[in-house]
Amino acid sequence: MPEVIIAGPDGRLEGHYTPATEPNAPIALILHAHPKGGGHMNAKPIVAMYELYKRRGYAVCRFNLRGVGASQGEYDQGLGELQDAAIVLDWLQAMNPNAPFCWVAGHSFGAWLAMQLLMRRPEIHGFICMAPPMNMYDFGFLAPCPASGLLVYGSADRICPPDEIERIAERIRIQKGTLLTHTIIQGAGHLFDDHINELQAEVDTYMNYRENGTLDPHMQEYIKNNRKGRR
């Protein structure tokens, strides 16, 4: 789990990066929760997604947004944080210039950033939104949502209640051929504290579905050519 320092728009950004296990593998970027709410790259949901993508052979990076840990800068109401995410994605792509596609995953505030990044970067072909704060932030920029992905949240989440997530998500327009999949983890709160294994299992199941389904031709082509017989 090599530590990396990336030149960000407001100073250095600290992160963890694991190269891919195979040439020309896809990449994944993981974004943490709100800096002012204690979010950081070593939070359990972030590490769980990092380990999941690493196990699946992706080149994967998680990092601290500005002002968190050893990352320089100050909280910037989401604007600077989105710039941070874009810069780190640029870095990740530069490290993996032949990556066939990209995934983003985010927890809470990080899910909001991930979806904004998705709208700006056509190379992103899938996403995982953990406890998306749809009751706290405007997701109306998804007009329409250009890629399929998973919304995963807990039944006991008091910060982002599941009924609010479902109500607002129903209004999100999606492009033809894309799908927003919902998964609810019974008993889990906003941080998935004692439900990390269930969270990881649900995301793993979804990734298996995407690999074996027909939603993403880029993903299908990669699996066909590079990952025969692998789990």
Q: What pLDDT, on a 0 to 100 scale, did the predictor assign at position 216? A: 55
> Please, what is the average pLDDT of the chain?
92
Peptide bond into 144 cis (omega under 30): yes
Q: Which two tokens stand for residue 129?
A: 């939104």
Q: What pLDDT, on a 0 to 100 scale, did the predictor assign at position 23? A: 85
Among 188, 187, 45, CA closest to 128:
45
Q: Which residues, at least 6 apart from 106, have a Cβ–Cβ distance to it below 8 Å? A: 30, 31, 32, 112, 113, 114, 115, 127, 128, 129, 130
Report d(CA 117, CA 111) in Å as an integer.
10
Lowest mean pLDDT among 74-88, 110-124, 146-160, 169-183: 169-183
* In contact, 215 and 177? CB cutoff 8 Å: yes
Strands 102-107 and 11-18: unpaired
Q: Which residues, at least 6 apart from 29, have a Cβ–Cβ distance to it below 8 Å? A: 60, 61, 62, 85, 88, 89, 92, 102, 103, 104, 105, 114, 117
Furthest-apart CA atoms within the chain: distance in Å: 46
Domain 3-218 has CATH 1.20.1740.10: no
What percentage of the chain reaches a pLDDT higher than 70? 91
For 39, other C-beta atoms within 10 Å of its C-beta total 22
Q: What pLDDT, on a 0 to 100 scale, did the predictor assign at position 90? A: 98
Q: What are the domain boundaries of the chain?
A: 3-218
Q: What pLDDT, on a 0 to 100 scale, did the predictor assign at position 139? A: 94
When pLDDT is averaged across residues 126-142 and rounded to a whole number, the result is 95
pLDDT tens profile 137-164? 999 999 899 999 999 999 999 999 999 9
pLDDT tens profile 173-229? 888 888 999 999 999 999 999 999 999 999 999 999 998 865 555 555 555 554 433
What percentage of the chain reaches a pLDDT higher than 90? 83
Q: What pLDDT, on a 0 to 100 scale, did the predictor assign at position 212? A: 80
pTM above 0.75, yes or no: yes
Q: What pLDDT, on a 0 to 100 scale, did the predictor assign at position 176? A: 86
pLDDT at residue 39 tops 60:
yes
Strands 124-130 and 180-185: unpaired
